[in-house]
Amino acid sequence: MTISAILKQKGGDVIQVAENASVSEAISIMTQKRIGALVINGTHHACMGILSERDVMRALHQLGASAIDQPVHALMSKNLITITRNMAVDEAMALMTGYRCRHLPVIEEGQLLGMVSIGDLVNYKISETSREADALKSYIQNG
């Protein structure tokens, strides 16, 4: 299966914030929306970076409480690993494991189509495994 199947289930809406928003604003949005990362958009890029919970924690460790007053562009992850709709779910999971990241923007031809999290991928795999197990049980019972 591909990332396209996950985007069909969850939709392509991505919570974004402007590059000059404060980390405090970003934390508020992530808390309200119950998400672990935001896409940072700039004047020329639909996805110039991601601010994740991990980025906030690192900044708090390095800068102390003043980190929440920083603009998100100062703390965001800039070297993004991105994927396309046609990538296999297993391949995306391998990227997340290899790069130790929890969110992957889905980008094609410079356009942000969505974002998948490790939770999205794991939930999809669990559902897929359950469907396969049900199909095997049915096959065994019905011949």
Task: Tell me how many domains the chain contains.
Answer: 1
Expressed as residue numbers, the domain containing 7 is 3-142
Q: Evaluate if residue 143 carries a pLDDT over 70.
A: no
3-state secondary structure at position 106:
strand
pLDDT of 141 reads: 85
The band of 127, judged by pLDDT with boundaries at 50, 70 and 90, is confident
Residues 81-116 pLDDT 10s: 999 999 999 999 999 999 999 999 999 988 899 999
CATH number at residue 17: 3.10.580.10
CB 23 within 8 A of CB 49: no
Segment 25-49, tens digit of pLDDT: 999 999 999 999 999 987 766 789 9
pLDDT of 26 reads 97
pLDDT at residue 129, as a whole number: 79
- Range in 4-18, 93-107, 121-135 the model is least confident about: 121-135
pLDDT of residue 54: 94
Give me the pLDDT at residue 110, please.
85
Q: Are 41 and 19 in contact (CB under 8 A)?
A: yes
Cα(64)–Cα(54) distance, rounded to whole angstroms?
14
Prediction pTM value? 0.84
Beta bridge partners of 117: 103
